[in-house]
């Protein structure tokens, strides 16, 4: 990434101006031959207000004349490189992450191509801003930071008219929707309508991590009320000011929504369910998975990324999958989703049935170890298959570890800090290389920090977390914690699904995604303490995951794109979103050499 010395900023400004005036003197704006038909029908102020078409000061002088926007933007002509450079300079000057989130979102609504270029070029720095953890903070404050609608809000009062609301969306080609009802936003709970930041953030990653065209993506908030009293009492709250509707009315509303999407955008429009409360997440997944093109990211996406982390960790511990004992802390959708996919993986690797595979998996929730002997709390729902017998009831996690002797401890509790020093030390005592995953989001809710994990296990643990942590120095060694976040999975799944227009997305897809992700971790990555590929490789990772899934889609006869492309990977690559600006004046314009950063600014760059 480029960094300019602050003292040189003035010189750069001057250089830009000199180039601009040199250039403007040379251009003949009335040269009829050069002025050909613009490619866009949209002109003038409408063009400036259209984020997919707008390119700010990168409009050439010719384009400004033809498109009727001359004078509506400042006189300098800047290349996209210089623009992204300015954005990053401003980014560094912002006071806090929420301000950075707001600036980047404003850029997204102003100039989409520039937003994605900046994001893709600075992924490691910007992902924690537009996604977890800052997006969580933005959701909590969405009432105040809400600037402009970037998706659809459909409320329970739209029941009977959902199709009409979908028709208000200006794009007719929508290939992917991320939808939430805001009831379980990250580990933050019910944020009602403020949860809209999550579908927006997830879809930004569809483009930034997997190259899916943003105009094909639609974030949707289904506002069915909120049970969050603070929001209900907040005069600035942006959603319906009433308690959540549930039961039959809510379910009929969801059914109508699913059918309306198919009627408006087609049966292969992907619908990603995000941050629903556990009981609804499972209910809708089971009800819709064989009828629509949908998946639940918190159950299935999280499962695949965690399983990939387990596969990679086992390359280090050298213990066969079926010889491990897994203890899940938290028995909600993330834990049950991972445990379920893990049991499938064990069952297929060890050639044993699913029930037998479940014997390797234990769970511990707010009422302690999940065993038949316990008298408190329920044992029903998806966690049921992991309930054991003949163990001593305990509510003490260290004691549970002592009893079960797990090789892996996986937290998805939303209970920050639950992996205390004594829990971590116990794991280190009974394992040479303990596997510790602290998956809850955002950062404050992680079960432990990366630093605590490495310190309490003498640097021996294989660690990953849902939210990002900085590298940790311990005993002279640097450890790079893995980010076991579903963002490694859902973009690739969505890419394969939208390109090949799959009818359904079954469990096998997530097993394939997990294997493909783990296979892409190199020995060098592992030597650095990583269990996932570096974020900067994510585009390739997503394409490879999508390629593996697409082979399966054709094998399972769910892909509907015909004829079948000869080379699936290169077909996918051909579809990827390009952040380069379009030219509105064909064949007449070339950026003068001096306009291109880094050459022009090389001498100013540290
Ligand atoms: O959004 C994230 O970072 C991961 C996720 O799906 C969740 O925590 O609900
Ligand atoms: Mg989620």
Q: Are 58 and 83 in contact (CB under 8 A)?
A: yes
Where does CATH 3.40.50.720 sit in the chain?
300-488
Distance 275 CA to ligand 2 centre (A): 5
Longest dimension (CA), the chain: 88
Cα of 180 from ligand 2 centre, angstroms: 9
Please, what sign has the CA dihedral across residues 546, 549, 555, 559? negative
- Report the 10 Å Cβ neighbour count for 478: 10
Mutate to test the pocket of ligand 1, among 203, 205, 298, 484 (most ligand atoms within 8 A of CB): 298
Least-confidence region, from 14-18, 238-242, 249-253: 14-18
| Average pLDDT of the residues of the chain | 91
Which H or E element spans position 218?
strand 217-223
3-state class of 471 per DSSP?
Answer: coil
Topology, domain 101-292: Rossmann fold (3.40.50)
Report the alpha-carbon distance of residue 109 to residue 477 in Å, rounded: 43
Q: CA distances (Å), 316 to each of 310, 369, 434, 527, in order?
A: 10, 28, 10, 10
Whether residue 246 is annotated as binding a ligand: the answer is: no
How far apart are alpha carbons 304 and 491 in whole angstroms?
A: 12
Q: Which residues contact 354 (CB under 8 A, 6 or more apart)?
A: 343, 344, 347
Share of the chain above pLDDT 70, in %: 89
* 280 annotated among ligand-binding-site residues: no
487 C-alpha vs ligand 2 centroid, how far in Å? 10
* CA 596 – ligand 2 centroid, Å: 40
Task: Report d(CA 311, CA 515) in Å as an integer.
Answer: 8
The answer on whether 255 is annotated among ligand-binding residues is no
Res 16: pLDDT: 53
pLDDT digits (tens, 9 = 90+) for 125-147: 999 999 999 999 999 987 655 65
List the residue whose alpha carbon is closest to atom 3 of ligand 1: 132
Burial class of residue 198 in the structure, from the number of CB atoms within 10 Å of its CB (0-12 exposed, 13-18 middle, 19+ buried)? buried
Listed range (224-228, 388-392, 586-590) with the worst mean pLDDT: 586-590
Nearest to 382 by CA among 479, 280, 502, 240: 280
Ligand 1 contact, 183 CB (< 6 A) = no
CA angle 237-239-245, nearest 5°?
A: 130
Q: Which atom of ligand 1 is nearest to the CA of 185?
A: 9
**Is the Cβ–Cβ distance between 262 and 269 less than 8 Å?**
yes
- Number of other CB atoms surrounding residue 106 within 10 Å: 13
If one residue of 441, 444, 482, 491 were mutated to test the ligand 1 pocket, choosing by the most ligand atoms within 8 A of its CB, it would be: 441
What ligand 1 atom has the least distance to the C-alpha of 441? Answer: 8
Q: 193-235: per-residue pLDDT in tens?
A: 999 999 999 999 999 999 999 999 999 999 999 999 999 999 9
Inter-CA distances, 547 with 54, 217, 491, Å: 32, 20, 12
**What pLDDT, in 10s, does the model give residues 482-540?**
999 999 999 999 999 999 999 999 999 999 999 999 999 999 999 988 999 999 999 99
3-state secondary structure of 185: strand
Question: Which residue reads 């040199």 in tokens?
Answer: 22
pLDDT at 529: 86
Q: For residue 328, what are its two tokens?
A: 């899940």
Q: In which region does residue 295 sit, left (phi positive, over 0), alpha (psi from -120 to 50) or beta (all else)?
A: beta
pLDDT value, residue 587? 54
Q: Would the CB of 297 count as within 6 Å of ligand 1? A: yes
Tell whether the model's pLDDT for residue 177 goes beyond 80. yes
* CB of 501 shorter than 6 A to ligand 1: no
Q: What is the pLDDT of residue 36?
A: 40
Which atom of ligand 1 has the smallest separation from the CA of 133?
A: 3
Question: DSSP assignment of 35-64, as one string?
Answer: ----S-S--HHHHHT-TTT--GGGS-HHHH
Question: 296: which strand partners?
Answer: 273
Run of H or E including 98: helix 97-110
Which residue reads 């892409």 in tokens?
520
Half-sphere exposure of 402 (CA within 13 A, CB side): 10
Is the distance from the beta carbon of residue 486 to the nearest atom of ligand 1 less than 6 Å? yes
Nearest CA to ligand 1 atom 9: 186
Q: Which ligand is nearest to the CA of 204?
A: 1
Report the distance separating Cα 517 and Cα 530, nearest Å. 13
In the chain, where does the domain assigned CATH 3.40.50.10380 lie?
A: 101-292
DSSP state of 328: E
- For ligand 1, the distance from its centroid to the CA atom of residue 113, given in whole angstroms, is 25
Residue 364 three-state SS: strand
CA of 487 to the centre of ligand 1 (A): 8
The third-level CATH classification (topology) of the domain covering 300-488 is: Rossmann fold (3.40.50)
- 131 annotated active-site: yes
Atom of ligand 1 nearest to the CA of 201: 1
Residue 475 has pLDDT above 60, yes or no: yes
Q: Report the pLDDT value the prediction gives residue 23, as an integer from 0 to 100.
A: 46
Q: Could you say which of 202, 360, 383, 544 is catalytic?
A: 202
pLDDT of residue 596: 47
Burial class of residue 420 in the structure, from the number of CB atoms within 10 Å of its CB (0-12 exposed, 13-18 middle, 19+ buried): middle
What's the DSSP call for residue 421? H
Asked whether the predicted pLDDT for residue 324 surpasses 60, the reply is yes
> From CA 193, how far away is CA 196, in angstroms rounded?
6
Residue 528 has what pLDDT? 86
Q: Which of 199, 444, 466, 489 to mutate to test the pocket of ligand 1 (most atoms within 8 A of CB)?
A: 466
Q: CA 201 to CA 206: how far, in whole Å?
A: 9
Ligand having the closest approach to the CA of 133: 1
**Do the annotations mark residue 485 as ligand-binding?**
yes
Of 95-104, 571-580, 590-599, the least confident? 590-599
288 counts as catalytic = no
Report whether pLDDT(274) > 60: yes
Q: State the pLDDT at residue 586.
A: 64
186 lines ligand 1 (CB under 6 A): yes
pLDDT in tens, 545-559: 999 999 999 999 999
- How many Å apart are CA 437 and CA 408, to the nearest integer? 8
User: What's the average model confidence in pLDDT over 82-109?
Assistant: 94
Cα–Cα dist 551/114, whole Å? 33
Q: What is the pLDDT of residue 143?
A: 66
Confidence grade of residue 591 (pLDDT, cut at 50, 70, 90): low
Average pLDDT over residues 344-355: 96
Of 429, 454, 440, the closest CA to residue 485 belongs to: 440
Residue 238: strand, helix, or coil: coil
Contact 39, 582 (CB under 8 A): yes
Instruction: Say yes or no: CB of residue 340 within 6 Å of ligand 1.
Output: no
Q: How far is the CA of 579 from the centre of ligand 2 (A)?
A: 27
Asked if residue 543 lies in contact with residue 492, where contact means CB atoms within 8 angstroms, the answer is: yes
HSE-CB at 128 with a 13 A cutoff on CA atoms is: 14
Which atom of ligand 1 sits closest to the CA of residue 298?
Answer: 6
Query: Which of 20, 101, 116, 131 is flagged as catalytic?
Result: 131
Q: Establish whether 441 is an annotated binding residue.
A: yes
Strand order in the sheet with 368-369: 368-369, 361-365, 326-329, 408-411, 435-438, 462-465, 482-483
Whose atoms come closest to the Cα of 412: which ligand?
1
In this prediction the pTM is: 0.90
Instruction: Read off the pLDDT of residues 32-47 as tens digits, 9 standing for 90 and up.
Output: 334 344 446 889 999 9
Cα 603 off chain centre by: 37
Ligand 1 binding pocket includes 347 (Cβ within 6 Å): no
Residue 15 clears pLDDT 70, i.e. is over it: no
Do strands 462-465 and 435-438 pair parallel, antiparallel, or not at all (unpaired)? parallel
Of 299, 302, 444, the one to substitute when testing ligand 1's pocket (max ligand atoms within 8 A of C-beta) is 302
450 C-alpha to center of ligand 1: Å? 18
Do strands 361-365 and 270-273 pair parallel, antiparallel, or not at all (unpaired)?
Answer: unpaired
Query: Per the annotation, does 486 bind a ligand?
Result: no
314-331 mean pLDDT: 97
Calpha distance 351→322 (Å, rounded)? 10
């Amino acid at each position: 990434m480029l960094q300019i010395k602050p003292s040189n900023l003035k010189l750069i400004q001057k250089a830009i101006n000199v180039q601009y005036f040199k250039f403007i003197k040379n251009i003949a704006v009335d040269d009829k031959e050069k002025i050909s038909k613009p490619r866009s029908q949209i002109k003038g102020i409408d063009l400036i207000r259209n984020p997919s078409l707008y390119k700010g000061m990168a409009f050439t002088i010719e384009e400004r004349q033809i498109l009727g926007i001359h004078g509506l933007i400042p006189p300098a002509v800047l290349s996209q490189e210089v623009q992204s450079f300015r954005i990053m300079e401003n980014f560094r000057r912002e006071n806090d992450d929420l301000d950075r989130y707001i600036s980047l979102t404003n850029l997204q609504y102003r100039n989409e191509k520039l937003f994605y270029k900046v994001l893709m070029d600075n992924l490691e720095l910007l992902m924690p801003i537009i996604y977890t953890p800052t997006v969580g903070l933005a959701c909590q404050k969405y009432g105040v930071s809400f600037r402009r609608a970037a998706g659809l809000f459909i409320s329970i009062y739209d029941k009977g008219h959902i199709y009409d609301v979908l028709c208000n969306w200006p794009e007719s080609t929508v290939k992917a929707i991320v939808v939430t009802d805001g009831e379980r936003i990250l580990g933050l709970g019910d944020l009602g309508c403020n949860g809209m930041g999550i579908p927006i953030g997830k879809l930004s990653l569809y483009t930034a991590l997997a190259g899916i065209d943003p105009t094909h993506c639609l974030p949707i908030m289904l506002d069915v009320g909120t049970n969050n009293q603070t929001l209900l009492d907040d005069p600035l709250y942006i959603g319906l000011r009433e308690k959540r509707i549930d039961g039959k009315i809510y379910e009929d509303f969801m059914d109508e929504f699913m059918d309306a999407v198919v009627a408006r955008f087609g049966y292969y429009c992907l619908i990603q369910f995000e941050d629903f409360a556990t009981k609804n997440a499972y209910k809708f997944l089971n009800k819709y998975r064989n009828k629509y093109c949908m998946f639940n990211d918190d159950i299935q996406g999280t499962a695949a990324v965690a399983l990939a982390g387990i596969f990679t960790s086992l390359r280090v511990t050298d213990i066969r999958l079926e010889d491990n004992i897994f203890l899940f802390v938290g028995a909600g959708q993330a834990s049950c989703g991972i445990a379920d996919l893990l049991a499938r993986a064990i069952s297929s690797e060890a050639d044993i049935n699913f029930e037998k595979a479940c014997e390797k998996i234990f769970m511990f929730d707010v009422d302690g170890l999940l065993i038949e002997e316990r008298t408190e709390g329920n044992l029903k729902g998806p966690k049921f298959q992991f309930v054991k017998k003949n163990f001593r009831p305990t509510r003490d996690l260290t004691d549970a570890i002592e009893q079960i002797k797990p090789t892996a401890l996986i937290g998805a509790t939303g209970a920050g800090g639950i992996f205390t020093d004594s829990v971590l030390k116990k794991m280190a005592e009974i394992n040479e290389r303990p596997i510790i995953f602290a998956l809850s989001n955002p950062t404050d809710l992680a079960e432990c920090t990366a630093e605590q994990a490495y310190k309490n296990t003498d640097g021996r643990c294989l660690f990953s977390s849902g939210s990002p942590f900085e590298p940790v120095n311990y005993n002279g060694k640097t450890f790079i914690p893995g980010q076991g976040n579903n963002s490694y999975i859902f973009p690739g799944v969505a890419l394969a699904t939208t390109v090949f227009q799959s009818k359904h997305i079954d469990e096998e897809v997530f097993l394939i995604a997990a294997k493909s992700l783990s296979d892409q971790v190199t020995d060098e990555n592992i030597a650095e303490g990583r269990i996932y590929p570096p974020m900067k490789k994510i585009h390739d990772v997503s394409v490879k995951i999508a390629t593996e899934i697409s082979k399966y889609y054709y094998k399972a006869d769910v892909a509907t794109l015909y004829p079948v492309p000869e080379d699936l990977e290169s077909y996918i690559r051909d579809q990827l979103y390009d952040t380069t600006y379009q030219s509105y004046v064909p064949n007449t314009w070339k950026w003068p050499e001096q306009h291109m950063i880094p050459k022009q600014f090389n001498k100013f760059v540290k």
